[in-house]
Structure formats: C-alpha cells, structure tokens
A and B are shown apart, each in its own frame.
Chain A
Amino acid sequence: MAKVFIFPATSLILSDMVERWGHEALGAATGIRERIQTPSLDSPPLQMTPEDPKKGLKYAAVEVPCGVRGRMAIYGPLIEEADAAIIINDADLSFGCMGCARTNELVMFMVRQQKGLPLLDIKYPETEDEGVAFVTQIKEFLAGLEGEINE
C-alpha cells in the first residue's frame, strides 16, 4: 500500500478512488484530522493557530502571504511523506478546491520537484469520454504503484 498525495487535496472523489484501489490518500482530511487529534492544540474547533504559518516558513519565505504558509504547514509534510502523487489540473470546484491559487502553484511545483516520486499529472475531464479515460488512467496508475514502489 502506497501513500498517495492527492491534488486537489480536498477532493473526496479522488481520495475515495485512491482508498478504493488499495492505497492511502494523503489530502486535506489527513492533515486536518492529524491536527485536531494532536493534544497540544488548545483552540478547538479551530485547528490552525498562528504557529502554523511560521511552520510553513520551511516551504515558503516570510514575504509569502500567511494563508499560503499556513496551508503549506499542512501540505508540505504530506508531500514529503508521499510515496506517489496524483495532480488533477484545472479541476472543477465541485471536484475539490483548495481555496488559494498561490498555494496550488507551490504545492504542484513541490510535488513535481520530488525526485523519483511516481506522479500522475493529468487534466480534469470535460466530456464523458474524457471522464472514462480519466478514471482508467487513475486506476492504472494506482494499480502499477505496488510494483513501482517495491522496485
């Protein structure tokens, strides 16, 4: 079973596909769930604290807006932890949306920079035929992961 970072990280559909085909999806739910289960966080139900944008300094410089750095504090460690990744470009809002375009740019760049990380980098489908091909590509990528990771 591989840990697969998904983009958009909030996509429940993509997360479900990864889990259904036998892997662990690393997305927003993983990052946020991790936070509210951490005992040291003392401001529930708000999971983020002003410390998070500071942690995000590992991934983005101080002149980068705090919202980007706060998001990177969630997604940066997930990308580092991932065995593989799937990026869906230009996804519809209903498929999963990550709020901040600047974070999207940085997350996608960081994923693409990970040397040796198996990556499926595809476009969101616009027609039914493209939809079928889209699901097939994801399925084949996920099926091939075991062998690729074991090699």
Chain B
Amino acid sequence: MNEHPVRIAQISCGPEHSGVQKEIYDAAEAVNAEMFFPDVTLTDIRRSYDAFGLEARSGDLKLAIARAMALVEQKVEADAVFIATCFRCAEAATVRNELRRYIHEHSDLPVVSYSFTERTTSGTLLTRMEALTTIARRRALLAREKQNGTTMGIDSGSATTKAVVMQDNEIIGTGWLPSTEVMNSANGVIEAALKEAGLEMTDIEAIGTTGYGRYLVGEKLGVDLIQEELTVNSKGAVYLADRQHGEATVIDIGGMDNKAISVQDGIPGVFTMGGICAGASGRFLELTAQRIGVDITELGPIAMKGNSNVVPMNSYCIVFGTQSLVNALAKGSSKEDVAAAACRSVAEQVFEQQLQEVDIKEPVIMVGGTSLIEGLVHEMGELLQTKILVPHHSQYIGSVGSALLASGFIEEK
C-alpha cells in the first residue's frame, strides 16, 4: 500500500493493563493505520478536567478527557478516534459515552467506541478499524450518490450470501443463498443475479465485496473494492431509502452481530458493532421460528398478530431467551404472542446494548435480512417512538452498497 497510514487517536483507559494494546496495534496495522496517543501535559489534564466538568476519579479517564479536548480544540491532528475502556467499568462507560458524544458533536472526526476484555482480539477490532480508515481515507468515494455503468456487489455474510447486479442506478438482478462454504455460496448468488439480469460476468465493469467473507471472495474474483459492512451498509441504506443528505441512523440486526450507525450525509460518524450474545441477533428469531414450527419468513406476520407484553422474555443470553420461549409455550401462550415477545426481546437487547452508544437521529433506517421481519421493525419503532424506514431490497443492503461504491472504480479503469 502506498497510501499514508491513517492516524487514529487512541483515547483509552486500561488496554495496556488488560494485555490488549498489542491487539489494537495489530488491527490498525492490518488496515494501514497507526494508533497514537494525543500528547497532553499535566496542566492540560487539570484544565480540561475542570472545563469538561465530569468528575472522573480515575487518572487515565482524566487523561482521556484531556486528550479528547485536545482533539476537538485541534491542538492535536488526527484522522479518526478510537475510544476504548474496560468492559464492566461503570465509571469508564460514563466517560467513554460522554467523550464519544462530545467529539461527534464538536468535530467531524469519525469515532468508534469499544469496551474490551482480556479476550478481545485484533480480529474483533478489525472491521471497526477498517471502517474508521475508510471514512478517513475514502470520503470522496463515500460521497458517491449514483451508481453508474454495470456493477456487481457481493455480501458474504455470516448467515446469508447475497449479490446484486446494478446498471445505470437500477437493480437488475439479485441472488440470495444461506451461507455455507464461502466461495460456493458466492458463486451461487453471482450466477442467480447474472441470470436475472440477463448478463454474463464479462459484462460487469466493476465488483465490490463486503461481509465476513469479503477478503476471500474479493481475492478469488479479483474485485475492485473489498470493504467492511459498516460503511457499505450505511451507504446502501441512505441510497435505497433516498436519504443521502442530512442525518440518519442505520440499524442492521444481523445473523451474528448487530450494527448501529449514526450517519451524516451518507458517511458514518459514530457506530457500534457487536452484541453480547446471539440472543440479541437474528439467530434468536430463527430459533424462535423453528421452535414454533414456522418458516422465518412467516415469523414477522405472525408476530404482528400477537401481543408482546403478555409473554415475559429476555434474550440477553440466548440460553435464557430459549428458556423463556420454552416456558411460555409450555404455559400455553399462543405462537403469535411468543413470536411478538421474541421480536420485542431482540429489539430491547439492541436498544439497551447498542443504541445507547449512538445518538438516534431520524430517520431511522432498518436494513439487512431481519428488516423483513415486520414484527421486529414494529417493536423497534415502538421502543424508539418513531416510524422506521425499511427501504426496498433492504435485505441486499451490503450488496447494493458495494455495487454503488464499486462504480466509482469504473472511471479509473
């Protein structure tokens, strides 16, 4: 890579003593970024601490406040900010959240915040770091609002693999398969999308890939753009929802993890990715559908007929969630109420665990396969007290975002 490394300012408390600082460095290095600690003095710490007004008692959190203020006041230059503190530390969580909000409101620096344990690996951090560097490095590409020429986007996700073919700003072919062996699934969806579009692979002018299998698929096919799903999905969401200008919040409840992204003009500002347990993901809804004996595509309409308030369910942990599910059915609850409660529970987990880390700005756009489960969209709307937008082709969001961004490479050829 000939590009200059993206400089990511690290504002943190505890990673060295948790033994994960090396993992942070490794994740940054993998995406040609370098971590650095904003340089501040003891005088800066005293001044910033008083000025910020949050009475943290930990020295490293006072230092974090001073570093955040140095970035906002442009005494230190950075391309992006990574805020990290120990998981389960209440004091650090308060400071982390307030600093994330402060930097987002007072600068245009992309920010990601993360709470780590000693088990955090560079692999866990990679997608977040990649998104930070993309936002910093590829603002021009992310500003693209129209798809040109004939391009393909492939989303190799943890649960499903999707592909779309786009031509002159229209989706003309789609393919969808459950993810099994990565390349087999990718080849299957490519074939389906091309068949629907009536095109051959040689007609495709540029290809983009995203999702967990993006590197493998990207390398095998020699694609133009290999991009993590945070930026791609944001772009795809505002494009399909026709909300490319101004603020928006994108929620993607995936098969393995969830993403909540605060977007400004189609570019992510603050985002979170994760989820404590599969109980907060689409997996729990799949499990619910299996348990009540319906196809996942039927779960949404069934849930809309039920009442989520009459069945207690907490899927903070998928095992506890399953216990609630089994108990409710054993007590004779209807499958409609159970389906609604499962949707409510997943929405609550995402709301409690992730949406607290981004500022919800309307419109709220839900994307990904789970956005087709109308019971889940309804429950999320109830929790957020807003009408949620689900754009057409929302289940193909990663593929559409990839195809859209990939068209930026046609002119370069």
Contact = CB atoms under 8 A, between A and B. Distances in A.
A66 B18 contact: yes
A137 interface: no
A65 B92 contact: yes
Q: Which of A63, A66, A74, A102 has the most CB of B within 10 A?
A: A66
Interface string A49-71: 11111100000000111111111
Contacts of A53: 17-19, 117-118
Contacts of B116: 66
A65 B19 contact: no
B289 interface: no
A102 B89 contact: yes
Contacts of B13: 67, 99-100
B22 A46 contact: yes
A70 B88 contact: no
Given A66-B116, A93-B46, A102 B91 contact: yes
Contact of B18 (A63, A67, A97, A98): A67
Given A48-B16, A99-B13, A100-B14, A66 B45 contact: no
A48 B88 contact: no
Contacts of B85: 67
B58 interface: yes
Contacts of B119: 50
Nearest to B116: A66
Interface in B17-65: 17-22, 42, 45-46, 56-60, 62-63
A48 B60 contact: no
B320 interface: no
Given A94-B42, A100-B60, A101-B57, A70 B87 contact: no
Interface in B89-121: 89, 91-92, 116-119
Given A48-B18, A48-B19, A52-B19, A64 B88 contact: yes
A71 B17 contact: yes
A50 B18 CA distance: 6
B92 A50 contact: no
Contact of A70 (B14, B57, B58): B14
A65 B88 contact: yes
A46 B62 contact: no
A66 B117 contact: yes
B372 interface: no
B152 interface: no
B59 A100 contact: yes
Nearest to A47: B16
A66 B116 CA distance: 8
Interface in A104-147: none
A70 B118 CA distance: 9
Given A66-B116, A70-B118, A48 B17 contact: yes
Given A66-B116, A93-B46, A99-B58, 8 more contacts: A66-B17, A67-B15, A70-B16, A93-B45, A99-B13, A99-B63, A100-B14, A101-B59
- Lowest 10 CB-CB distances: which A-B pairs, in order? A67-B14, A65-B86, A70-B17, A101-B57, A97-B59, A99-B60, A53-B118, A66-B18, A50-B19, A65-B89
7 contacts: A48-B17, A49-B22, A50-B118, A69-B18, A99-B14, A100-B60, A101-B56
